[in-house]
Chains A and B, each alone.
Chain A
Amino acid sequence: MWYRSASFILDQQQNDGVAQPESRLLSPTAPSPSMAETPQQNPKISAYYQTRAAHHGVVSSDWLAQAQAAVGRQADEAVSDDSLSLKSGESPKAFSVIDEFNNWRKQPELAEAVAAIRALASVIRSSEANTMMELEIELKKASDSLKSWDTTSISLTAGCDLFMRYVTRTSALEYEDFNSAKSRLLERAEKFGEISYKARRIIAMLSQDFIFDGCTILVHGFSRVVLEVLRTAAQNRKLFRIFCTEGRPDRTGLRLSNELAKLDVPVKLLIDSAVAYSMDEVDMVFVGADGVVESGGIINMMGTYQIALVAKSMSKPVYVAAESYKFARLYPLNQKDMVPALRPIDFGVPIPSKVEVETSARDYTPPQYLTLLFTDLGVLTPSVVSDELIQLYL
């Protein structure tokens, strides 16, 4: 009765879904019984945000234990479900895709899309196909299983799509025999990891001009790209200071302030509610992105939209640093128009079971609140993003 938007239909379906968690084979519903303070809705705990929290957040030990148990259960589930749903000849390969992906994903410096592409590269390596068509079909299956394993991660989906798109386009140029084409695909996939590092450096270089001496930068969330930008600026002896939001519940701000203190950059921590209070001292806002959508808006950690709204009303520029493989073919019309990605929130004190908690991990910032996007394709205004996506997918 509280819900006014059409999305309440979706919420109702989720409520129905609590009764049948087994119906979805590859979704991570296993952790739900283990959470003590679970709300009534079906918590699709996002593996993506769990990983990020594990990498970048200051986590409490019991949460970490829960997360590890959850991941372990998902891997087991993936094993059992893969053997059920796929043919016997292919199940070892499908098993290894998700396993491979999990291995790559755990490395803190590696981007999610790179891990996905490396996992797909391992599929190519272990494939016994003899024609491009067969290889493509195998890759498509592997890519689909990866995507459905974690539906909440945008860069995973975007990375898979990008690689599949590249494979189909390469096979259209029929001038090579199969083995050389296969080895080229493999080589290209391995090189993609380098592209990811290069992308961060390019973005850091492009954004240097926008950081001037004596500026104050507000940063939200722990983005490795933004950290690279700030690290490069510090190395170039620029004088600036950082306001860092606390970033509950992941406490990303604490981790970020640690890193910045190592660089001798003056940092001030703000609780999330103090952003508007401090906004007039701020010269610009810098955020990363989990995904860049077709409208030119971004999907990022919860709180980004709020900060962008405040910045816009006080005429402060909002800059986004994102690699180009995070561009996704999504077009959210409102905040609830995405696959829900939930995170457990630890309030430190027990909450009565009747009280609901909003556990969504991310929000959508529309393009009119963003000033510029720094990507490895160059400095872009939000309107360029849809152009790029059309060029790729048309």
Chain B
Amino acid sequence: MPDVHALVNDFLIKLKRRKIEGSKATAKVTAEVLRSFISQQRLPNTNQAGALIDAVKAVGEQLIAANPVELAVGNVVRRVLHIIREEDLSLTAAAIGGLSLSAGSDDEDDVGHDEHPALSAAAVAAAARSTLRPPSLQTLLEDVPHTAAVPHTSSSGGDSEGKSKSADKNSSTKRLKHNVIEAVNELIQDIVTCHEQIAEQAVEHIHQNEVILTLGSSRTVVEFLCAAKEKKRSFRVFVAEGAPRYQGHTLAKELVTRGLQTTVITDSAVFAMISRVNMVIVGAHAVMANGGVIAPVGLNMVALAAQRHAVPFVVLAGIHKLCPLYPHNPEVLLNELRSPSELLDFGEFSDCLDFGSGSGSPILHVVNPAFDYVPPNLVSLFITDTGGHNPSYMYRLIADYYSANDLVLQRRSAS
């Protein structure tokens, strides 16, 4: 236990000080920390899934609070919670299958009990299905009594079947944790290999003699373009430099070493050059539930230019970047202000930025936001490790990977 605590605290400090850069790295470390945390957890005999979920939620809240702008942390926490619920459901379904057989043989004299396991089997399955899926019209009428009745019947069924079930329970204790950890390993594997999976689809989208535009630098985009190059497509790339960090320069260098013809332009020239471009391909920091994109600063402008000239705007994003929340004020709440030294040299502007002299507050302010919000109507296509999707399809992926109960992790005090 102590080493897990130390691990978590270490990670919290790194998050607060923004030492970990990039959503992929953050997602991977979060998953690993949660995996160690789960393996160290000691679970009670009954309702293990609930206890595990509560423990992971508690840790998850801390992690999210450390860096609220890095949405990948919250995404991974919610994925793990969803995994726990799924594994619990499949284990329960398997156990019920065994339970109904044993019930038929044991309690032949007690008619009431005979009906109970059969009732609880269907009821548990139905309720479990409904708790796993997001709330829907189908479950509208089922919702109220089922969730109250189900734990009751399953626990009473467990008490009556005492000994025959306890053997099952001990094995299922270990099996839940084991299954969950296996699934989290798969999750980590998916996060690590997301670039390859996305790059596999490159050849479908990039055709011969095309001109691609991108801004700044993204690992996913590099892999994507190089995969197309490997399949012997010849195309040109326009790279907008991405002020103030000028990561476009490093991207251009890398593309040249791989043998792609590259042109470097300033951000301001994007509107001028967009008419000569066939497609815009960019990476993202996070994808929100409505299909909107949190992307490096400058991409909103590129998206608007692309829409104006009817150029497809394609966003590459691994599934760990998909966030189940809706952005209600993304420019403010999901943005980070970086150091003004990236824009202005302190030496030259020291008299303007001096807080001590004169009236106290300087007239010159420098704002250096890190991210832009691109609304969903500007995005043509999302390419994820599972394939290409429309922005309006994002909600389906969310339903597959996240549970509705886990969406609100922070507000426990609210009604």
Contact = CB atoms under 8 A, between A and B. Distances in A.
Contacts of A376: 135
A377 B136 contact: yes
Contact of B326 (A162, A212, A372, A388): A372
A91 B157 CA distance: 46
Contact of A391 (B136, B143, B289): B136
A68 B396 CA distance: 48
Contact of B140 (A173, A210, A325, A383): A325
Interface stretch (A127-135, A187-195, A267-275): A187-195
A377 B289 contact: no
A384 B395 CA distance: 7
B170 interface: no
Contacts of B291: 381
Contacts of A187: 145
Interface string B395-415: 110000000100100000011
Contact of A195 (B138, B143, B328): B143
A6 interface: no
Contact of A188 (B126, B145, B289): B145
Q: Is the interface of B mostly helix, strand, loop or mixed?
A: loop
A365 interface: no
A205 B136 contact: no
A55 to B, nearest CB: 24
Given A162-B140, A324-B140, A327-B137, A383 B395 contact: yes
A325 B329 CA distance: 29
Interface in B132-185: 134-138, 140-145
Interface in A195-224: 195, 201, 205, 209-210, 212
Given A377-B136, A381-B290, A188 B395 contact: no
B337 to A, nearest CB: 19
A205 B326 contact: no
B122 A378 contact: no
Interface string A358-382: 0000000000000010001111110
B119 interface: yes
Q: Is the interface of A mostly helix, strand, loop or mixed?
A: helix
B137 A381 contact: no
B392 interface: yes
Given A377-B137, A391-B137, A383 B392 contact: yes
Interface in B379-407: 392-393, 395-396, 404, 407
> Chain A contact residues (Cβ within 8 angstroms of B): what range?
35 or more
Given A205-B414, A383-B392, A388-B136, A194 B144 contact: yes
The listed residue with most A CB atoms (<10 A of its CB), out of B141, B145, B290, B326, is B141
A344 to B, nearest CB: 35
Contacts of A16: none
Interface in B88-122: 115, 118-119, 122
Contacts of B393: 383
A283 to B, nearest CB: 10
Contact of A392 (B115, B119, B136, B396): B136
B138 A391 contact: yes
Interface string A148-189: 000000000000001100100100010110000000000110
A201 B329 CA distance: 22
Given A212-B329, A324-B137, A173 B143 contact: no
Contacts of A201: 415
B382 to A, nearest CB: 14
A224 B163 CA distance: 54
Contacts of A173: 122, 126
Nearest to B143: A195
The listed residue with most A CB atoms (<10 A of its CB), out of B118, B119, B140, B145, is B140
Interface in B225-259: none
A175 B122 contact: yes
Contacts of A188: 141-142, 144-145
Interface in B303-334: 326, 328-329
A209 B136 contact: no
Contacts of A384: 395
Given A175-B118, A205-B414, A195 B144 contact: yes
Given A175-B119, A192-B141, A195-B144, A378 B290 contact: no
Given A205-B414, A381-B290, A384-B395, A191 B138 contact: no
Contacts of A259: none
Contacts of B392: 381, 383
A378 B290 CA distance: 12
A290 B119 CA distance: 38
A378 B135 contact: yes
B203 to A, nearest CB: 29
A173 B126 CA distance: 11
Interface string B288-303: 0111000000000000
Contacts of A195: 140-141, 143-144
Given A166-B142, A187-B145, A377-B137, 16 more contacts: A163-B141, A166-B141, A169-B138, A173-B126, A194-B144, A195-B141, A205-B415, A209-B326, A324-B140, A377-B135, A377-B136, A379-B289, A381-B290, A381-B392, A383-B393, A384-B395
Interface of A: 162-163, 166, 169, 173, 175-176, 187-188, 191-192, 194-195, 201, 205, 209-210, 212, 324-325, 327, 372, 376-381, 383-384, 387-389, 391-392
17 contacts: A162-B137, A163-B141, A188-B145, A191-B144, A194-B144, A195-B140, A195-B141, A195-B143, A195-B144, A325-B140, A378-B404, A378-B407, A381-B291, A381-B392, A384-B395, A388-B136, A391-B138
